[in-house]
Every structure is written in structure tokens, then in C-alpha cells.
Structure 1
């Protein structure tokens, strides 16, 4: 996946494995679960402001479109905990 977070006037464009995005987004100021709100810095994103903890989830679900597929039935989920709840 390619990072689309805008730095200056251009997208970051660093290519990363999905597991490396959380750490990489810290370089862009996205970390923690504090109540401070921020705007999404992804190219052309007009999502409303959200706290930093939700921003990470937003990037994974909306921009990276990461999905977690159930090995039992094939349904897919945008969040791992939703898959885990489904499998119980």
C-alpha cells in the first residue's frame, strides 16, 4: 500500500506493508487515543475531524480498504474485532 498522507503539497507516497502503517502514521502525527481532534491528511479526503485514535481506524478502513475475511464463511469485515465477534 502507498501512503497518501499529504506532506507539504504532495502525497507521502512511501510504500509499506499494512502492518507498518501504524508506526509510519506516527511520523504524520497520527497516534494515541487522546481527545484532540484532527483532520485527515490523506489526499482528497473530506472526512470530518476526529480524534487521533479514530483517525488510525479511518485510514485503515477507508483509504487502505483493509478487510478481514472469515475463514469459515467468507464474509469480510473492516475491523478485526468485528470478525472475532462474528466467529464466536
Structure 2
């Protein structure tokens, strides 16, 4: 999906990125730093969601940037890599069986 503009500072030229690592790097650049297991509010403007700091980047990617991952076999999309991997294990078997039955 690519990158998105910074919601905290209009003059910021750093991309938010499309991975949790890049989101955390961007948050650190704006001094949003917490203990990974500490509870914290989402720093996104107008978001009042509270969670463990270790989940903030994934929350931003899923809820605010609407990042999705897509199955290469059927095109179905998911907001989390874990869900995609579970789906692809089944989808790959179904695709393989359908191909073998031709």
C-alpha cells in the first residue's frame, strides 16, 4: 500500500511506512517513546484507544492507515499477517487439490 503523511506535524517529511518497525521509527522521531509492555493511549489525533505500547504500531497500520495484506491464491485481504498466513495454509492446499484434479 505504500506510505502515508504524518498526522502529528504538517512539515514532517518522514513517511509513516507500511511496517510496524517503520511506524515505531516515525513515532520515536516525534518523541512518542514508551516501555514496550506499558499501557499507552494511541497517539493518533482524535483516537482515544488505549493498549499496550507494543501494539500501537499494528493498531495504527490496521485502523488508521487501513493497511491490508492479500492472499496470492484467491485475492482475499486481511488486516493482519497472522490471519493471512493461517488462511494461505488452507487456501494453498485447496488451490493445489483443485489443480491436481484437472
TM-score (norm 2): 0.66
Runs of 5+ consecutive residues of structure 2 not aligned to the other structure: 90-102
**C-alpha distance in 2 between matches for 1:72 and 1:63:** 27
Counterpart of 2:9?
A: 12
* Larger proportion of helix: 2
Counterpart of 1:7?
A: none
Counterpart of 2:73?
A: 72
Q: CA deviation at 1:44?
A: 1.3
Q: Deviations over 1:43-76 (max 9, x none)?
A: 11122x1110111111111011110011111111
Runs of 5+ consecutive residues of structure 1 not aligned to the other structure: 5-10
Give the greater-gyration-radius structure (CA).
2
> Does residue 30 of structure 2 align to residue 33 of structure 1?
no
Counterpart of 2:51?
A: 50
Residue correspondences, number: 80
Higher-RCO chain (CA-CA 8 Å, sequence separation at least 6): 1
**C-alpha distance in 1 between matches for 2:82 and 2:70:** 12
TM-score (norm 1): 0.75
